[in-house]
Amino acid sequence: MSKLKISVSALFMLILLSMFGALASAEEVKLPSNVGTVDNFGDNNTHRTHGNFQNNTNSCANCHSTHNGEDEYLLMKSGEYELCMSCHDGTMGFYNVKAASEAGVMGSHEESASMHNVDSDLAVSAAPGALNNKSTAVFECSSCHNPHGSANDRLLNETVAGKQYGNNYNVTIVGYAETITKLNQVPTGTKAIKLNLVEDPAYAAINSATGLSGLKIYKSNGIYNKPADGLTQAQVYDYKLNYSEFCASCHDDYLKNRENGPRADGVHYTHTTNSTKQGRSCVACHYAHGTDITTLRDTAGNTIADLQTKKGWTEVQAKAYMKDVSKKGSSLKRFTNMAVCWACHQSTHQIANTPGTTNYPNTTDASKYFVPGGDYSGKNLIK
Amino acid sequence: MKKRTVYILMSSIVALSVAFFAAIYFFNLESTIKPIVAKVDPSGPPIFTNALYGEFNAPLNKPMDVTKIGEFVYVSDTNNKQVQVFDQSGTSVFKFGKEGTKEGEFKFPYGIAGDKDGNVYVADLYNANISIFDSKGKFLKYFNDKEKLLKSPGGLRIVDKKLYVTDIKANKLFVFNLSGEKLLEIGGAGMEEGKFIAPNAVAVDNDDHIYVTDSGNNRVQVFDKSGKFIKIINGSKDGKGDPTFLNPRGVAVDSKGNVFVVNNLAHNIYAFDKNGKELYELGGMGTENDKLYLPNGLFIDDRDTLFVTDTINQRVSVFY
């Protein structure tokens, strides 16, 4: 063979090699993704963890025991709270239930803390106000949230304590009178609760990242008070009323309105808890998860952190002021003590001619009816 | 055989033995010899040996990470907001720390590591700082994060006077020198190579390769010492397929270069060889001795002993 032939074939081989090399390096690297990008509603799948289990999943056994279950769902008795908390304790960065959010706090050891105690073997039927709720189940995270996925926002259960609570309603408001008629039950798999969720600016880096099959971290602003985000007034009413129905699946005796006059059950007077109006749903006054000294507010809407920055108070001073002194504890309230009432009612109906007000006993100037230092601007925080 | 020959043979055995041990003694070879002698089957999987539980009345509550400093085992006892210290036999020797935001207090003690002087570094995920204690648990100072970079420190290791810490919310790995100057930063939110979602743990091998558990993306990413991406380990062949990891947490490398990854939601530890080939699994869900239940932190000491925090079983399990 001539030298030329050898060098030509060597060159040819080199060219072929580099072509294969280029092809191989250009081959798309498949990034791991465990779920599809479109959910059951044709929307972007922003929720990649619960439900959407992988074909090789080993997750079932976290909660279910094939041969030694404690109930008909083969559920294991213990470990649910710890399981949820293996991610929701802050170690995933987002959706940390121990950090204060619209739902309040979980697992707090701070002063004035009260919580939905999902790790204490409480019975679901031990809920305050449980009258028709005779559930024998143990109260767990899954009493309210469905780890397999839900049509509702925040994976809120479609059935709570055996009750399918979601309805559509006809709401008529004439002046102060509000008439609410239940139309039909929301079918399973249809959204009964929609919350005002916005992409959380604190996680802008994740939310704007590409290639995450649409993972978005949302911040909840709670229930809707008025039509927004393309919702109709009727939808807003439905979602709001269903939220109270959701809570009342367990706390059923607390669900009251004034359809039958001020004495809902014919005996007791009660604050309305399932009306479409501001301040008349469960979450207007209470957090869903829990409260503590850091989340409680005064009538001005100040937290202890606000008091320290705005008023220059010491932490000790602020805590002593904010401390809940109610005998039954802070009851998951958004405002400390009964400031939750005061925030709404004192600001709209200042009591005239009261000792302690700035112009007592002169009551002619309505703008001076405030208690010295009184500030009721927290009203706008009530949903 | 002649008596004389036997005597010569016997005395030469004695002479050789004396020479052997003398050599070990005079050349200080104990430390190099010991692991070889102690290892039963160097190629097989480590076997459960014992567990550290703490006192009966004050057990560990959600132990999240573990490290060995000197002869003591330090455990971040996260729900008790303290650090528990054990001797090798599993006796709780002392504890330090309590709930709070002040010096010596914790809200979520997580990554734990020791420096050459035996000082203990504890990362607090909520307090957003790293506290430094002496080996007896006396608070010395906060780690001087000069650029105030740390928002939510998680995994923490100190190797060759460099402090490696993952920041879970920032989705980053930072490498500092011990006086707090940033040497390297890797990451940012995302799924591409070199990006993280909730990195929970870090390890460094003998080649100075950096292993970062990228929990949210169900994988471990490997970088060289300059932070250049090398590869992904996720349980699939070559790390390019779908991950078999479920919420991976602790990561550690043994003296042979084998990589161990705690698979929190699958309750086991995967072992891979240097080339990423899967070797074996340890654990599996359960409460028995060699089982794990939501394991999290992992530390391998210089004798290749594995320490893994077993959160629901409220113990640190030791595999050797």
The three-state DSSP-derived secondary structure of chain A is: CCHHHHHHHHHHHHHHHHHHHHHHHHCCCCCCCCCCCECCCCCECCCCCCCCCCCCCCCHHHHECCCCCCCCCCECCCCHHHHHHCCCCCCCCCCCCCCCECCECCCCCCCCCEECCCCCCCEHHHCCCCCCCCCCCECCHHHCECCCCCCCHHHECCEECCEECCEEEEEEEECCEEEEEEEEECCCCCCCCCCCEEECHHHHHHHCCCCCCCCCCEEECCCCCCCCCCCCHHHHHHHHHHHHHHHHCCCHHHCCCCCCCCCCCCCCCCCCCECCCCCCEHHHHECCCEECCCCCECCCCCCHHHHHHHCCCCHHHHHHHHCCCCCCCCCCECECCCHHHHHHHHHHCCCCCCCCCCCCCCCCCHHHCCCCCCCCHHHHHCC
Q: Is B61 on the interface with A (CB under 8 A)?
A: no
Distance CA A258, CA A245 (A): 15
Q: How near does any CA of chain A get to the CA of B278, in Å?
A: 17
Q: What is the pLDDT of residues A150-178, one digit of tens each?
A: 889 999 999 999 999 999 999 998 887 88
**Which residues of chain A lie closer than 8 angstroms to B110, CB-CB?**
91
The whole-number pLDDT of residue B32 equals 67
Least confident of A54-68, B148-162, B203-217: A54-68
**Which residues of chain B lie closer than 8 angstroms to A83, CB-CB?**
294
Confidence of residue A211 (pLDDT cuts 50, 70, 90): low
**Residue predicted with more confidence, B138 or A23:** B138
Is A190 a residue whose pLDDT tops 60?
yes
- Which one of B242, B245, B249, B263 would you mutate to disrupt binding with A, by most A Cβ within 10 Å of its Cβ? B242
The whole-number pLDDT of residue A55 equals 61
Q: What is the pLDDT of residues B69-84, one digit of tens each?
A: 999 999 999 999 999 9
Confidence of residue A354 (pLDDT cuts 50, 70, 90): low
Distance CA A307, CA B197 (A): 35
Percentage of chain B with pLDDT > 70? 96
What does the buried/exposed string (b/e) look like for B1-16 if buried means 16 or more CB atoms within 10 Å of the residue's CB?
Answer: eeeeeeeeeeeeeeee
Mean pLDDT of B156-168: 97
**Which residues of chain B lie closer than 8 angstroms to A209, CB-CB?**
188-191, 195
Is B169 a residue whose pLDDT tops 70?
yes
Is A20 a residue whose pLDDT tops 60?
no
Is A69 a residue whose pLDDT tops 60?
yes
Task: Determine the length of chain A.
Answer: 383
**Residue predicted with more confidence, A2 or A79:** A79
Could you tell me which residues come within 8 angstroms of residue B186 by beta carbon, excluding any fewer than 6 positions away? Answer: B172, B173, B194, B210, B212, B223, B227
Is A342 a residue whose pLDDT tops 60?
yes
The answer to whether B235 touches B281, Cβ cutoff 8 Å, is no
Confidence of residue A26 (pLDDT cuts 50, 70, 90): very low
- DSSP annotation of B46 reads P
The whole-number pLDDT of residue B147 equals 92
Q: What is the pLDDT of residues A76-89, one digit of tens each?
A: 666 789 888 989 99
Q: What is the pTM of this model?
A: 0.82
Tell me if B190 and A82 make a contact (CB, 8 A cut-off): no
Name the residue type at position B216.
Answer: G
**Residue predicted with more confidence, B88 or B288:** B288
**Which residues of chain B lie closer than 8 angstroms to A217, CB-CB?**
none
Classify the phi-psi angles of A150: left when phi > 0, otherwise alpha if psi is within -120 to 50, otherwise beta: beta
**Which residues of chain B lie closer than 8 angstroms to A78, CB-CB?**
312
Q: Domain coordinates of chain A in residue numbers?
A: 1-96, 296-383
The whole-number pLDDT of residue A175 equals 83
Instruction: Give the nearest chain A residue to B155 (CA atoms).
Output: A91
Task: Determine the length of chain B.
Answer: 320
B 184-203 near A (Cβ less than 8 A): 188-193, 195, 197-198, 200
Longest dimension (CA), chain A: 121
Q: How near does any CA of chain A get to the CA of B201, in Å?
A: 10
Is B7 a residue whose pLDDT tops 50?
yes
Could you tell me which residues come within 8 angstroms of residue A53 by beta carbon, excluding any fewer than 6 positions away? Answer: A59, A60
Tell me if A91 and B154 make a contact (CB, 8 A cut-off): yes
The candidate with the shortest Cα–Cα distance to B40, out of B318, B317, B304, B312, is: B304
The whole-number pLDDT of residue B102 equals 95
Tell me if A209 and B189 make a contact (CB, 8 A cut-off): yes
- DSSP annotation of B65 reads E
What does the buried/exposed string (b/e) look like for A307-344 if buried means 16 or more CB atoms within 10 Å of the residue's CB?
Answer: bbeeeebeeeebbeebebeeeeebebbbbbbebbebbb
Percentage of chain A with pLDDT > 70? 73
Q: What is the pLDDT of residues A288-306, one digit of tens each?
A: 999 999 999 998 999 999 9
The whole-number pLDDT of residue A48 equals 57
**Which residues of chain A lie closer than 8 angstroms to B278, CB-CB?**
none
**Which residues of chain A lie closer than 8 angstroms to B265, CB-CB?**
58-59, 62, 86
A100 pairs with which residues across the strands? none
Q: What is the pLDDT of residues B225-283, one digit of tens each?
A: 999 999 999 988 888 888 888 899 999 999 999 999 999 988 999 999 988 899 999 99
Contacts 24+ apart (CB under 8 A), B301-304: B301/B68, B302/B255, B303/B34, B303/B35, B303/B38, B304/B35, B304/B39, B304/B46, B304/B254, B304/B255, B304/B256
**Which residues of chain A lie closer than 8 angstroms to B168, CB-CB?**
90-93
Residue that is written with structure tokens 């939510």 in the block: B152
Confidence of residue A25 (pLDDT cuts 50, 70, 90): very low
**Residue predicted with more confidence, A76 or B129:** B129
B 94-133 near A (Cβ less than 8 A): 99, 108, 110, 125-126
The whole-number pLDDT of residue B246 equals 85
The candidate with the shortest Cα–Cα distance to B252, out of B183, B159, B143, B169, is: B159
Q: How near does any CA of chain A get to the CA of B315, in Å?
A: 14
Which of A62, A92, A109 has its CB closest to that of B216? A92
The three-state DSSP-derived secondary structure of B125-191 is: CCCCEEEEECCCCCEEEECCCCCCCCCCEEEEEEECCEEEEEECCCCEEEEEECCCCEEEEEECECC
Which of B189, B243, B244 has its CB closest to that of A206? B189
Q: Is B62 on the interface with A (CB under 8 A)?
A: yes
Could you tell me which residues come within 8 angstroms of residue A58 by beta carbon, excluding any fewer than 6 positions away? Answer: B246, B265, B266
The whole-number pLDDT of residue A23 equals 40
The answer to whether B155 touches B196, Cβ cutoff 8 Å, is no
Could you tell me which residues come within 8 angstroms of residue B316 by beta carbon, excluding any fewer than 6 positions away? Answer: B51, B52, B60, B63, B66, B73, B75, B86, B307, B308, B309, B310
Q: How near does any CA of chain A get to the CA of B159, in Å?
A: 23
The whole-number pLDDT of residue A343 equals 81
Could you tell me which residues come within 8 angstroms of residue A40 by beta carbon, excluding any fewer than 6 positions away? Answer: A189
**Which residues of chain B lie closer than 8 angstroms to A61, CB-CB?**
285
Q: How near does any CA of chain A get to the CA of B188, in Å?
A: 7
**Residue predicted with more confidence, A352 or B263:** B263
Confidence of residue A22 (pLDDT cuts 50, 70, 90): very low
Enter the ipTM.
0.81
**Residue predicted with more confidence, B266 or B179:** B179
Tell me if B242 and A59 make a contact (CB, 8 A cut-off): no
The candidate with the shortest Cα–Cα distance to A93, out of A213, A195, A196, A206, is: A206
Is A30 a residue whose pLDDT tops 50?
no
Tell me if A86 and B217 make a contact (CB, 8 A cut-off): no
**Which residues of chain B lie closer than 8 angstroms to A215, CB-CB?**
197
The whole-number pLDDT of residue B1 equals 72
Max avg pLDDT among A71-85, A209-223, A336-350, B153-167: B153-167
